[in-house]
Amino acid sequence: MSTVLVTGSGGLIGSEAVRFFAQKFDRVIGVDNNLRAHFFGEGASIEWNVSHLNEQIPNYQHHTIDIRDYEQLGQLFAEHNADIELIIHAAAQPSHDWAANDPLMDYHVNATGTINLLELTRKHCPQAVFIFTSTNKVYGDTPNFLPLVETDSRWEIDESHKYFEHGIDEKMSIDQSKHSLFGASKVAADVVTQEFGRYFGLKTGIFRGGCLTGPNHSGAQLHGFLSYLMKCAITKEPYTIFGYKGKQVRDNIHSWDLINMFWHFYQDPKPGEVYNAGGGRFANCSMLEAIELCEEIAGNKLNYSYDETNRIGDHIWWISDLSKFKKHYPEWNWQYDLKKTLGEIYSGLVERV
């Protein structure tokens, strides 16, 4: 029975992967113990999403397992063994602010949890494709030293720079920079996933996400930028902009577009390969620009304040260059621009808040 295993299956990327791959595999096994509620409070709980998956996806099986627990994971892998053809590893502690509060837990979830899954894949289903959801935070604050120019609504890179047309590529160094503790734990996971591909020959793929977004995000102040922003626009809860005059730029990729990248990789895996994965020049915005869009869609003025404190390790300007992935998989392209994505987020939140 063809099987895909998805960690973080109740989260944004995990649940999108469950819905997508349930149509392509006989069985989808989900692993999620709702640590997101521990990280960000009950308002960020993913239980609603897990309930929907259980109700709506007949070939979905949910397991409340902590990815730090090698023994429990091992039992799950042993039970399904060679049936597992694909692993989507999307479980994580995802906030660089939160990581500073508990570096040990952050590291064990992000780094130890990842190597647990890799080693169990090597032992039980070495033929499977293993996809790791990494982050652009592995580049640390190196992007902040690019030649940036301030405009009325955003920071932008100088037009003469090689990154202006397409964004930042995978050749940027991940070394000798300030990552935040979260960024450091994800570097560890990112590199060890590469190594299991290059050293052991596993079919590993690493996707360094920009801002991952979509209607199934349980957004919170410390994680889930567009989802939380739209939630505050709808409910009129106060929102705080941290640093850089609200002009910091992020590219945003809809969860479906990212999962579609995974699907293309699965069909033609390139072991140990690394790809930047974001909205690129196709879908990006500054905080101020995102606020304007959310206000327009929600029909409300956002109740926001400004804290001039710059978050440690935060990017002033980030746009991903997806040229490498598009060269390897020329049939892939984005389907969701920023307005379409925000419209879906708005509709989803209206049903829940």
> Tell me, what CATH number does 149's domain have?
3.40.50.720
Task: Give the pLDDT of residue 334.
Answer: 98
Position 225 confidence tier, pLDDT thresholds 50, 70, 90: confident
pLDDT 10s digits, 174-198: 999 999 999 999 999 999 999 999 9
Residues 6+ apart with CB under 8 A from 96: 137, 179, 180, 181, 182, 183, 311, 312, 313, 314
Its domain, for residue 155, covers 3-352
Give me the number of domains the chain comprises. Answer: 1
pTM, two decimals, is 0.95
How many other C-beta atoms are found inside a 10 Å radius of the C-beta of residue 307? 10
Task: Give the pLDDT of residue 180.
Answer: 92
- In percent, how much of the chain has pLDDT > 70? 97
The enclosing H or E element of 87 equals strand 84-89
Mean pLDDT of 127-153: 97
* Pairing between β-strand 148-150 and β-strand 155-157 as defined by DSSP bridges: antiparallel
pLDDT 10s digits, 230-250: 999 999 999 999 899 999 999
Please report which residue ranges of 158-286 form alpha helices under DSSP H: 180-198, 225-235, 255-267
Task: Give the pLDDT of residue 191.
Answer: 98
Position 96 confidence tier, pLDDT thresholds 50, 70, 90: confident
Q: Smallest Cα–Cα separation from 215: which of 37, 51, 349?
A: 349
User: Helix or strand or coil: residue 237?
Assistant: coil
